[in-house]
Structure 1
Amino acid sequence: MPVPVPPQESSAPSRPSSTLGVLRVYLGPLKWQVAGLAALLLTGTGLNLLLPQLLRAFVDSAKLGAGADVGLMARLAGLYILLAIGVQLMTAGATYVGARVGWTATNRLRVDLMAHLLSLDMREHKERTPGEMIERIDGDVTALSNFFSQFAVRVFGAALLLVGALFMFFREDWRVGAGVTLFTTVTLIAMNRVRKLGVEPTRLERESSARLFGFVEERLAGLEDIRSLGAGGHHLNSFLRTQRTFFTRSVNSWRRRSIVWQLSMALFAVGYVGVLSVAVGLYATGAITLGTAFLLYNYMSLVEEPIDQLTQQLQELQKAGASLVRVGEILALRSAIHGGTLELPEDGALSLAFEDVSFSYSPDEPEVRGVLHGVSFHLPAGQTMGLLGRTGSGKTTLTRLVSRLYDATSGSVRLGGVNVQDVDLHGLRRRVAVVTQDVQLFQASVRDNLSFFDPEITDEEVEAALNEVGLGTWLARLKDGVHTPLPTGSLSAGEAQLLAFARVMLRDPAVIILDEPSSRLDPATEALLTAAMTRLLDGRTAIIIAHRLDTVARADRILVLGDGEVLEDGPRAVLARNSGSHYAELLRAGTLEEEGEGVLA
Structure 2
Amino acid sequence: MRELNRKIPLKEYAGLLRSYLKPQRKSIIWLSVLLISGIIMQLINPQIIRYFIDTAKTQESTTPLVYAAVLFIVVSLVHQGLTVAAAYIGENVGWIATNKLRGDVAEHCMKLDMSFHKSHTSGAIIERVDGDINNLANFFSNFAVSLLSNLLLVAGMLVLLFREGWAVGLSMTGFIVFAIYAIQYIRRFAVPHWGNLRAMSSRFYGFLGEHLEGTEDTRANGATGFVMQRFHSLLREWLPLRVKAFLGWASMWITTLLVFAIGNAVAFAVTAYLWKLGSISLGTVYMIFYYSELMAKPIEQIRTQMEDLQKADASIVRVRELLQTQSAIRDGVGVPLPSGPLAVTFDDVSFGYDDDLTTLNHIHFHLQRGKVLGLLGRTGSGKTTLARMLLRFYDPRSGAIRLDGIDVRDTTLPELRSRVGFVTQNIEIFQGTVRDNLTFFQDDIDDQRIIAVLEGLGLGQWYQSLPKGLDTPLESNGGGLSAGEAQLISFARVFLSDPGLIILDEASSRLDPATEQKLEHAISRLLVGRTCIVIAHRLATIQRADEILILEEGRIIELGDRVRLAADTRSRYNQMLQVGMEEVLV
- Could you tell me how far apart the structure 2 residues matched to 1:33 and 1:200 are? 34
User: Any residues of structure 2 matched to 1:181-580 within 5 Å, and which?
Assistant: 181-345=173-337, 347-362=339-354, 365=355, 368-487=356-475, 488-580=478-570
Q: Which is worse superposed, 481-490 or 82-91?
A: 481-490
Correspondent of 1:129 among 121, 137, 143 = 121
User: C-alpha displacement at 1:88, in angstroms?
Assistant: 0.9
Deviations 1:280-300 (A, max 9, x none): 110110011111111111111
- Could you tell me how far apart the structure 2 residues matched to 1:514 and 1:166 are? 76
Describe the SS at the equivalent of 1:422. coil
Deviations 1:246-301 (A, max 9, x none): 33322321111221121111122111101111001101100111111111111112
1:257 to 1:293, Cα distance in 2 relative to 1, 3 A: same
User: C-alpha displacement at 1:89, in angstroms?
Assistant: 1.1
- Could you tell me how far apart the structure 1 residues matched to 2:100 and 2:431 are? 25
Describe the SS at the equivalent of 2:401. strand
Tell me, yes or no, if the aligned pair for 1:355 and 1:376 is still in contact at 8 Å: yes
- Could you tell me how far apart the structure 1 residues matched to 2:120 and 2:51 are? 65
Tell me, yes or no, if the aligned pair for 2:425 and 2:510 is still in contact at 8 Å: no
Confirm or deny that 1:581 pairs with 2:571: yes
- Could you tell me how far apart the structure 1 residues matched to 2:143 and 2:580 are? 68
1:17 to 1:282, Cα distance in 2 relative to 1, 3 A: closer
User: Any residues of structure 2 matched to 1:88-107 within 5 Å, and which?
Assistant: 88-107=80-99
- Stretches of 4+ aligned residues off by more than 6 angstroms: none
- Could you tell me how far apart the structure 1 residues matched to 2:366 and 2:115 are? 27
User: C-alpha displacement at 1:457, in angstroms?
Assistant: 2.3
Describe the SS at the equivalent of 1:542. strand
- Could you tell me how far apart the structure 2 residues matched to 1:230 and 1:336 are? 37
Describe the SS at the equivalent of 2:545. coil
Confirm or deny that 1:60 pairs with 2:54: yes
Deviations 1:430-474 (A, max 9, x none): 111211221111122211111111122232232222112211111
User: Any residues of structure 2 matched to 1:93-172 within 5 Å, and which?
Assistant: 93-152=85-144, 154-172=146-164
Q: Which is worse superposed, 156-165 or 435-444?
A: 156-165
Percent identical across equivalent pairs?
A: 44
- Could you tell me how far apart the structure 1 residues matched to 2:121 and 2:74 are? 57
- Letter of the 1:161 counterpart: L
- Could you tell me how far apart the structure 2 residues matched to 1:592 and 1:244 are? 48
User: C-alpha displacement at 1:152, in angstroms?
Assistant: 4.8
Describe the SS at the equivalent of 1:356. strand
Describe the SS at the equivalent of 1:411. strand
Deviations 1:492-522 (A, max 9, x none): 2222111110111111111111110111111
Tell me, yes or no, if the aligned pair for 1:350 and 1:541 is still in contact at 8 Å: yes
User: C-alpha displacement at 1:581, in angstroms?
Assistant: 1.5
Confirm or deny that 1:27 pairs with 2:21: yes
- Could you tell me how far apart the structure 2 residues matched to 1:392 and 1:531 are? 29
- Could you tell me how far apart the structure 1 residues matched to 2:11 and 2:282 are? 53
- Could you tell me how far apart the structure 2 residues matched to 1:327 and 1:482 are? 38
Partner of 2:4 in structure 1? Answer: none
TM-score with structure 2 setting the length: 0.94
- Letter of the 2:559 counterpart: D
- Letter of the 1:31 counterpart: R
- Could you tell me how far apart the structure 2 residues matched to 1:279 and 1:592 are? 95
- Letter of the 2:302 counterpart: L
Describe the SS at the equivalent of 2:393. coil
Tell me, yes or no, if the aligned pair for 2:171 and 2:266 is still in contact at 8 Å: no
Tell me, yes or no, if the aligned pair for 1:98 and 1:152 is still in contact at 8 Å: no
Correspondent of 2:38 among 13, 38, 44 = 44
1:511 to 1:33, Cα distance in 2 relative to 1, 3 A: same
User: C-alpha displacement at 1:349, in angstroms?
Assistant: 1.0
1:514 to 1:275, Cα distance in 2 relative to 1, 3 A: same
Q: Which is worse superposed, 533-542 or 169-178?
A: 169-178
User: C-alpha displacement at 1:235, in angstroms?
Assistant: 2.3
- Could you tell me how far apart the structure 2 residues matched to 1:468 and 1:301 are? 78
- Could you tell me how far apart the structure 2 residues matched to 1:493 and 1:197 are? 56
- Could you tell me how far apart the structure 1 residues matched to 2:569 and 2:192 are? 68
- Could you tell me how far apart the structure 1 residues matched to 2:299 and 2:82 are? 20
- Letter of the 1:361 counterpart: Y
- Could you tell me how far apart the structure 2 residues matched to 1:63 and 1:138 are? 60
- Letter of the 1:360 counterpart: G
Partner of 1:178 in structure 2? Answer: 170
Partner of 2:5 in structure 1? Answer: none
- Letter of the 1:473 counterpart: Q
**Structure 2 alignment gaps of length 5 or more:** 1-9
- Letter of the 1:561 counterpart: L
Q: Which is worse superposed, 201-210 or 117-126?
A: 201-210
Deviations 1:93-117 (A, max 9, x none): 1111111111111110000000000
- Could you tell me how far apart the structure 2 residues matched to 1:18 and 1:558 are? 57
- Could you tell me how far apart the structure 2 residues matched to 1:22 and 1:468 are? 52
User: C-alpha displacement at 1:302, in angstroms?
Assistant: 2.3
User: C-alpha displacement at 1:153, in angstroms?
Assistant: 5.9
- Letter of the 2:177 counterpart: T
Tell me, yes or no, if the aligned pair for 2:337 and 2:416 is still in contact at 8 Å: no
Tell me, yes or no, if the aligned pair for 2:172 and 2:266 is still in contact at 8 Å: no
User: C-alpha displacement at 1:243, in angstroms?
Assistant: 2.7
- Could you tell me how far apart the structure 2 residues matched to 1:565 and 1:332 are? 36
User: C-alpha displacement at 1:21, in angstroms?
Assistant: 2.1
Output the aligned Cα RMSD.
1.8
TM-score with structure 1 setting the length: 0.92
User: C-alpha displacement at 1:324, in angstroms?
Assistant: 1.3
- Could you tell me how far apart the structure 1 residues matched to 2:235 and 2:424 are? 35
1:416 to 1:404, Cα distance in 2 relative to 1, 3 A: same
Describe the SS at the equivalent of 2:514. helix
Tell me, yes or no, if the aligned pair for 1:465 and 1:502 is still in contact at 8 Å: yes
User: C-alpha displacement at 1:233, in angstroms?
Assistant: 3.5
- Could you tell me how far apart the structure 1 residues matched to 2:404 and 2:185 are? 63
Q: Which is worse superposed, 257-266 or 283-292?
A: 257-266
Q: Which is worse superposed, 558-567 or 345-354?
A: 345-354
- Could you tell me how far apart the structure 1 residues matched to 2:452 and 2:13 are? 51
How many aligned residue pairs are there? Answer: 572
User: C-alpha displacement at 1:150, in angstroms?
Assistant: 4.1
Describe the SS at the equivalent of 1:353. strand
Deviations 1:38-70 (A, max 9, x none): 111111111211111111111111122xx3332
Tell me, yes or no, if the aligned pair for 1:257 and 1:318 is still in contact at 8 Å: no
- Could you tell me how far apart the structure 2 residues matched to 1:295 and 1:442 are? 64
Tell me, yes or no, if the aligned pair for 1:17 and 1:328 is still in contact at 8 Å: no
- Could you tell me how far apart the structure 1 residues matched to 2:131 and 2:429 are? 25
Partner of 1:3 in structure 2? Answer: none
- Letter of the 1:253 counterpart: A
- Could you tell me how far apart the structure 1 residues matched to 2:180 and 2:192 are? 21
